[in-house]
Amino acid sequence: MFQETSQNSKEFYSHLKIFHELMRVKVREILFVSSPYDAFIMEEDGSPASRIINEYSGLNLSLPPRVTRASSASEALTLLDKRMGKKRFDMVITMPNLDDMDAFSLGLEIKRINPALPVILLVHSPKNIYPFPEDRNCTGIDKIYIWSGNSDLLLALVKNAEDSLNVEHDTNAANVRVLILVEDSPVYYSSFLPLIYKEIVKQTQAVLEVGLNEEHRLLTMRARPKILLAENYEEAMKLCTKFKPFLFGIISDTAIPKNGKIVDDAGFLLLAQIKKEVPDLPLLMLSSEPSNREKADQINAVFFDKGSPNLLNELHTFFLTSLGFGDFIFRLPDGKEITRASDLRCLEEKIALVPDESLIFHAERNHFSNWIMARSEIALASKFRAVQASEFASADDLRNYLIINIHSARKWRQKGMVTQFRSHNFDADIMDFIKIGHGSLGGKARSLAFMSALLHQNPWLHEKYPEINIEIPKTLVISTAGFESFISENKLQDFAKIDYNDDEVTESFLNAKIPEWLLNKLEAYLKQVKYPLSVRSSSLLEDAQFQPYAGIYQTYMIPNNHFDLVKRLEHLTTAIKLVYASTYYESAKAFSRSASNKPQEEAMAVIIQQLTGEEYGDYFYPSISGVVQSHNFYPVSRMKPEDGIAHIALGLGKTVVDGERAVRFSPKYPNIMPQFSAVEDILSNAQRFFYALKIRNYPDNLQFLSNSNLEKREIDDAMDDYPVKLLASTYVPGEHRIRDTGFLDGPKILTFAQVLKYNFFPLSDLLCDLIELGRKGMGCQIEIEFSVNLSSDKNKKSDFFFLQMRPMVAGGERLDILIADKETEKAFCRSTLALGHGKNQDMADIVYVKPDSFKLEETMRMAEEIDKINASLLKEKRPYLLVGPGRWGSSDRWLGIPVKWRNISGVSAMIELRNEKIKADPSQGSHFFQNITSLGIHYITVTEGSDDFFDWKWVGSQPAVQETSYLRHVRLDEPFTLKIDGKKSQCVIFCD
Amino acid sequence: MADILRLIKDRDPGEKEFHQAVEEVIDSVKPVLDRNPQYGQDAILERIVEPERVIIFRVPWMDDQGQVQVNRGYRIQMNSAIGPYKGGLRFHPSVNLSILKFLAFEQTFKNALTTLNMGGGKGGSDFNPKGKSDNEVMRFCQSFMCELFRHIGPNTDVPAGDIGVGAREVGFLFGMYKKLCNEFTGVFTGKSLGWGGSLIRPEATGYGAVYFASEMLATKNTSLEGKTCLVSGSGNVAQYTVEKILDLGGKVVTLSDSSGYIYDEKGIDKDKLFYVKRLKNIRRGRISEYVDKYSEAVYTEVDTTIDYNPLWNHRADCAFPSATQNEINARDAANLMKNGVKLVAEGANMPSTPEAVNIFVDEKILYAPGKASNAGGVAVSGLEMAQNSMRIRWTREEVDQRLKIIMKSIHQACIDASAEYGAQGNYVKGANIAGFVKVVNAMLDQGIV
């Protein structure tokens, strides 16, 4: 009875034709309107995005869509026009960052050319679009998605567009199932859709069992359930009615729009209504309001808390238990469970054994076909559905029929099985960029890949600077798969949900084990690689556009020169574990929350990179580390904002990143350094300490937890090292003069004069070229981290290494902000040096450092007080304006209040006062600052005694909610208005 | 006297800084004016408040972008009764005629007090060296000198540096002067060591203050030997004050910076001083690091909730305020008295508030006002001129020796003047009068010019 009939086989094969009929409408040609950087992510062959596309090829992406890129709106319109008729675009995806037109206007223009063409707006943050400008016609955009750097979304949005185009045909042709997601918030559907698609793919693939031939596997995947997105009650109802026979499940938010208004329980009403019509349908109700669980229970719907950090797991469970992806449960008619089947083979076996009444019970209710359908075995499912149980003479006939058909289907599938195997032919000398695991590279590594491509595409750069190696350091990336398997093997999932303190996280992660497969690869790697390494994070969220998690995660350096390979491996894995742990540190979570990402979305890739530098005695460090930004927020003298600004320091980059004393200059005018004008200024502003990696005489277990194995050294102690001698000047006390050479006797002062004034190494020119290149490539203002290794050997080239490139937010503004004279007149604060752009009417709270009680030596205590007020305002969800003197976030407590990001994470705007008491340079450049600007926090410098002002009398007359030793917190009845004209750097704050 | 104030206010309304300086000087020399009616006949006051010559000139220069910039240059040649005009050049956006006249007026008496032959002057420009490249600064200096050169000379007017004019600017200015005049002369002080500068410049103020203190102690037949001293600050002045005190057998127990102070009961010896010099000059660290190295010392952080400076509240014999303005208030002065301090010699500029000064004067301790005890810096400028004129370069020891002699004569001048005007031992009065009298007498001698 298990024999295979050739006829059956043929029949099944012919059934495959159905698959060919499915998913007829495909998005083959996408017009991607964006900066070159975004395009790179989707298009570049072998790029992370396309790898992910391949890995998820189960999603019917046997032919990934072709992407045509337009880097401006006008180019896009030309392409659409010219190609009309010849090459049709199926979809337009546009980013908001276009040079010449905003996305809404572009959408309208496109609709004018082709009303049917879907136009999707992909934004980096809801801030980019909300609130919609009142007078703006947004009908040109079909759907808005929020991209948090996860390439899955690109697939999801393409697939979702295809699904909605194909659903009608496919349901009719092959009974393909329909899953409806009802959700109105782009933030949530942008994160759910990829989750659902991923889960569907995973589930479908899981049930496909082993041994499908690749092509058939792909074809089979076409029959996966369709996912339709409805954004309001009416739309959802319409879809439900239309596809009622094919409904597979409904996932709905609770508060959704009904009749054009958000109704708190519209989602519940919707589900209740459908429940009446299709009683067995699995329902899932989402809500950020946990109390809605009761309602869900009323209609027997599964309930998820939207805020739960564990959504993915819960979704997974829902798929298994409710949507039929789990085991087939054999029951007796009275509901008693007899046995289970997890796959087709098992089903076949169990069917042979179960009692007749159970068999008939399931057959009559189409349970077999449903369960098989969930596995996309359309032919089989359809075949089973087409016959009625009553048609069989006996239960045994039915049983035989089922078994033969299941078996034939399985047998056929065994043909042409393909296993994937990737051999390891690692050669450290040749391979510059390698990856372990199938997951994502993460934002930082992706930008490294982009830079690598950029350098490759611009050979003129290498010709212009023949004396310099310009490259990225040799890189190994452990993809997010490593993280995921580490977390799941060690059962560390809880850390996403529960806020442990950093030490607890660290301890648990250090005690966990690196997965065996990963460990083996790392060992193979270390057998060849024996130079010092830096180990740092590359999270999915980090460095995605407009979300630099700059400096939030840790970087660890290891000497990697121990004679014992075991020891080296131990050092490397310790560093990796610590990087993993930093995902769940408090500051990372705090930042993630304030960037409206959910910590559970965070998956970490790890970049292991050759540390740039040279050995000097017991130490290893690069001559210069630095950060250059393409936009200068504080242009002084003749510098212009677009000339950019650089910060450089001797040694490893921590000096610059932490905002310690470093040299700041505009690459266009390296000769002009206002902070270095007089001898006294130079003496007090020059770098005193630097960071180096100790590569000899270090403790066996290194010192990961203190300074990531780095040692803080005084410039004075390294006077004889080549970079110090070369880059320093010498102070001559007898003449009170600084001479631009490090080869005299006397105190060494790091002025970098040889590089900046005498062009010993053309750093300024190179930086000018690179920011230009980067700005064009990313389509926005950028920030580059780099290091330079000056060769002391005339026959050897010096090295310039790109360490990182990420966007700044300075120039991303589109819509104009005008400040009226009337507004200036009634303002309580005005600034002519403000960062950010736009209008903010969310704040009614002002927290300020009382000018009378401000004392430079008390700044630490002020930071503590700010932390407390911040925590309470954060809890109340009240964004606030923070006002105080000096550099916010300076690690030098003598220059300002040394707050950390988490101490002020609830601010919406900050004012940095400069007055007689504190005249520090404005605080541009630190990583902290980048975080502030990337979150769209307005940063306002008020120089008292100039045209700027802050009305102390007015604010003092407002009643205080709270007053501490140094702070005063006032709350206005109505929110005040803050306006910044980013082009003119002007700001006013006033009450209406 | 009221007449002279009305006169200058009527004639130059708006020169507030200058008016104030004149008022203060005239106030401080009232006994001299009262005793010398002949000054009125010779219109001494009318003459002394009117600069001998004021030069205001255009300074055009081209910036790195090829854009021409214009600044205004000044030289106030205030008084040459006792020697060539002498005084610094200041490059700062705040520079204007009133400020420069005020500075030149004060400089005249400061220079006179040194007992060297130096007149008074001041100059500068509203040019802001901040944010300018080396080349721009050079082009500005050259343009500035293209006019100034015809008004100065080693026997006429010898400028020096001041705010915004350091060794770099002096070099550019001197270079252009030399080219235009085709002669290498000592037309500037504050030059670099390789081409005419003098040794002992960084040390001068600190050493000078200690020499002056020794002279004061000598009037009481004692010396610094075995004396416990409080020194504030940790910059050049403080460091060389400590160095000289140690040379002369004293013991120093404190040093400070803006963040706090250290108290080392065992005394800061030569090794510890060497450490401090490295810490402050080379490593540019904070004084608090001293206690990391020398655990016997105690570091006390600045506490702004208290209205006194605990540094001045230790048992000691002498105090050398060498940090900053107003660092000793009335309460600190009282604490010093309570702790047995018998000598205060100011190395900093005006470190004691007027109330504190009154306490010192009332208690009749040995109190040296800064204008006398920190004249070492000006003195070395005079010595630089002397070396240039003689085409000789003295050794450190020679310069130091002469500095000592100058401080001694400043001390003597103060003693004599105070005695002459009935305030024996009052160095405040002595210093005010001595400088003034010297200038005025020279003017009388030289007739109506």
A104-145 confidence digits (pLDDT tens): 888 888 888 888 888 888 877 666 666 565 566 778 888 888
- Does A926 have pLDDT greater than 70? no
Give the per-residue pLDDT at A315: 78
Predicted pLDDT at A59: 46
Tell me the three state secondary structure of residue A916.
Answer: coil
Residue A362 in this model has a pLDDT that exceeds 90: no
User: Alpha-carbon dihedral of residues A965, A967, A970, A975, nearest 10 degrees?
Assistant: -170
CA distance B443 to chain A (A): 35
Q: Whole-angstrom Cα distance, residue B89 to residue B164?
A: 8
**Mean pLDDT score of chain B, rounded to an integer?**
93
Write out chain B residues lying below 8 Å of A715, CB-based: 283
- Residue A101 vs residue A827, higher pLDDT: A827
Whether pLDDT at A751 is above 80: yes
- Mean pLDDT of the A785-803 span: 89
Across the interface, whether the CB atoms of A857 and B134 are under 8 A apart is answered: no
pLDDT of residue A378 exceeding 80, the answer is no
Partner-chain contact B130 A679, CB within 8 Å: no
Q: What angle do CA B22, B23, B27 make, to 5 degrees?
A: 115
- List the single residue in B168, B278, B281 with the smallest CB-CB distance to A737: B168
List, for residues A679-697, the tens digit of each pLDDT value.
887 887 788 899 999 999 8
Vertex A809 angle, CA A807 and A813, to 5°: 130
pLDDT of residue A564: 92
Residue A672, chain B, CB below 8 Å: the answer is: yes
A261 token code pair: 């208004």
Distance CA A680, CA A662 (A): 16
| Share above pLDDT 70 across residues of chain B, in percent, rounded to a whole number | 99
- Render the burial of A81-107: b for 16+ CB within 10 Å, e for the rest: eeeeeeeebbbbbbbbbbeebbbbbbb
pLDDT at A811 over 50: no
| Contact A737/B at CB under 8 A | yes
Say how many CB pairs under 8 Å bridge A and B. 78
Window 871-930 of A: residues touching B by CB (8 A cutoff) are: 894
* Chain-chain contact of A678 with B135 (C-beta, under 8 angstroms): no
Question: Which among B65, B130, B166 has the least Cβ separation from residue A736?
Answer: B166
Taking the CA of residue B440 and the nearest CA in chain A, the distance in Å comes to 35
Binning pLDDT at 50, 70 and 90, where does residue A60 land? very low
| In contact, A591 and A905? CB cutoff 8 Å | yes
Catalytic residue among B86, B101, B110, B122: B122
pLDDT digits (tens, 9 = 90+) for A600-638: 556 788 999 999 899 999 999 999 999 898 887 666 667
* pLDDT digit string, tens, across residues B97-119: 988 999 999 999 999 999 999 99
Query: Looking at beta carbons, which residues of chain B come within 8 Å of A858?
Result: 304
CB A808 within 8 A of CB A782: yes
The pLDDT confidence band at residue A947, using thresholds 50, 70 and 90, is: confident
Contacts of A676 (CB under 8 A, 6+ apart): A663, A682, A685, A686, A751
Q: Which of A344, A409, A416 lies closest to A9 in space, CA to CA?
A: A409
Mean pLDDT of chain A: 78
Contact flag A684-B65 (C-beta cutoff 8 Å): no
Q: Which residues in chain A have Cβ-Cβ distances shorter than 8 Å to B377? A: none
> What pLDDT band is residue A459 in, cutting at 50, 70 and 90?
confident
* Closest residue to B167, CB basis, from A674, A715, A735: A735
The pLDDT, as a whole number, for residue A135 is 61
Closest C-alpha among A760, A751, A767, A445 to residue A628: A767
Pick from A135-139, A255-259, B37-41: least confident: A135-139
Express as a percent the part of chain A with pLDDT over 90: 16
Render pLDDT for B397-408 as a digit per residue (tens, 0 to 9).
999 999 999 999
Residue A18 clears pLDDT 60, i.e. is over it: no
- Looking at the complex, report in whole angstroms how far the Cα of residue B164 sits from the nearest Cα belonging to chain A: 7
DSSP one-letter code for A905: T
The dihedral over CA atoms of A614, A618, A619, A620, expressed in degrees to the nearest 10, equals 30
**Percent of residues, chain A, with pLDDT higher than 70:** 78
pLDDT given for residue A662 in this prediction:
82
pLDDT at A63 (0 to 100): 59
Looking at residue A128, its pLDDT comes to 60
Mutate to test the interface with B, among A672, A731, A735, A862 (most CBs of B within 10 A): A735
CA–CA distance from A14 to each of A193, A285, A379 (Å)?
Answer: 33, 40, 9
Whether residue A97 is predicted with pLDDT greater than 60 in this model: the reply is yes
B270 is catalytic: no
Mean pLDDT value of segment B275-294: 90
Say what the pLDDT of residue A129 is. 60
**A725 contact B CB<8A:** no
Is B201's CB within 8 Å of A686's CB?
A: no
Report the chain A residue with the minimal C-alpha distance to residue B195.
Answer: A735
What lies within 8 Å, CB to CB, of A948 at 6+ separation is A830, A831, A832, A833, A941, A942
Query: Which pLDDT tens digit goes with each residue over B351-367?
Result: 998 899 999 999 999 99
Q: Are β-strands A838-840 and A619-621 bridged in parallel, bridged antiparallel, or unpaired?
A: unpaired
Asked if A684 and B284 come within 8 Å (Cβ–Cβ), the reply is yes
Q: CB–CB of B259 and A672 under 8 A?
A: no
Residue A287's CB is within 10 A of a number of other CB atoms, namely 23
pLDDT higher than threshold 70 for residue B321: yes
Is A688's CB within 8 Å of B130's CB?
no
Checking if the pLDDT of A43 tops 80, the result is no
CB A243 within 8 A of CB A277: no
- Chain B residues with CB-CB distance to A under 8 A? 63-65, 129-135, 164, 166-168, 192-193, 197, 199, 201-202, 236, 258-259, 278, 281-285, 301-304
End-to-end distance of chain A based on CA atoms, in angstroms? 85
Cβ neighbours of B63 in A, within 8 Å: 638
**Taking the CB of residue A687, how many other CB atoms lie within 10 A of it?**
23
Q: Within an 8 Å CB–CB cutoff, is residue A335 touching chain B?
A: no
Per-residue pLDDT tens over the stretch A152-197: 777 788 888 888 888 888 887 777 778 899 988 888 888 888 888 8
**Nearby residues of B443 by Cβ (< 8 Å), 6 or more positions away:** B42, B44, B47, B48, B79, B81
Q: Do B65 and A733 touch (CB under 8 A)?
A: no
Task: Specify the higher pLDDT residue, B129 or B47.
Answer: B47
Question: In a mutagenesis test of the A interface, which of B282, B293, B381 is the best target, namely the one with the most A β-carbons within 10 Å?
Answer: B282
B282 and A737 in contact by Cβ < 8 A?
no
- Binary contact (B193, A734; C-beta < 8 A): yes
Predicted confidence at residue A422, as pLDDT, reads: 37
Q: Which of A414, A413, A368 is nearest to A15 (CA)?
A: A413
Does ipTM exceed 0.90? no
B259 contacts A733? CB cut-off 8 A: no
Q: What is the pLDDT of residue A216?
A: 55
Nearest CA in chain A to B301: A857
Phi, psi dihedral angles at A851 (to 5 degrees): -60, -35
Question: Is pLDDT above 80 for A269?
Answer: yes
What integer pLDDT is reported at residue B79 of this predicted model? 97
What is the nearest CA distance from A673 to chain B, expressed in angstroms? 6
A637 close to B (CB below 8 A):
yes
* Residue A924 pLDDT: 44
Q: Which of residues 688-707 of A touch B (CB under 8 A)?
A: 688
Neighbouring residues of B369: CB distance < 8 A, sequence distance ≥ 6: B346, B357, B427, B428, B431
Instruction: Give the pLDDT of residue A41.
Output: 56
pLDDT at B358: 93
Residue A440 clears pLDDT 50, i.e. is over it? yes
The answer to whether residue A731 neighbours chain B at the CB level (below 8 Å) is yes
Cβ–Cβ < 8 Å for B107, B120: yes
State how far the Cα of A146 lies from the Cα of A150, in Å rounded to an integer.
Answer: 10
In one-letter notation, the amino acid at residue A294 is E
**For residue A685, what is the nearest residue in chain B, using CA coordinates?**
B284
E-assigned strands of A746-879? 748-750, 782-789, 798-807, 827-831, 833-835, 838-840, 845-849
Instruction: Decide if A679 touches B, using CB distance below 8 A.
Output: yes
| Residue in A671, A736, A855 nearest the CB of B202 | A736
Q: Bigger pLDDT: B315 or A264?
A: B315
Q: For chain B, how many residues are written?
A: 449
CB contact under 8 A, A671 and B278: no
How many DSSP H helices and E strands does chain A contain? 34, 44
Strands A533-539 and A604-610, by their bridges, are: antiparallel
User: Is the pLDDT assigned to residue A805 strictly greater than 70?
Assistant: yes
pLDDT digits (tens, 9 = 90+) for B234-277: 999 999 999 999 999 999 999 999 789 999 999 999 999 999 99
Which residues are A680's β-sheet partners? none
CB within 8 Å: B284 and A688: yes
DSSP label at residue A707? G
Per-residue pLDDT at A8: 37
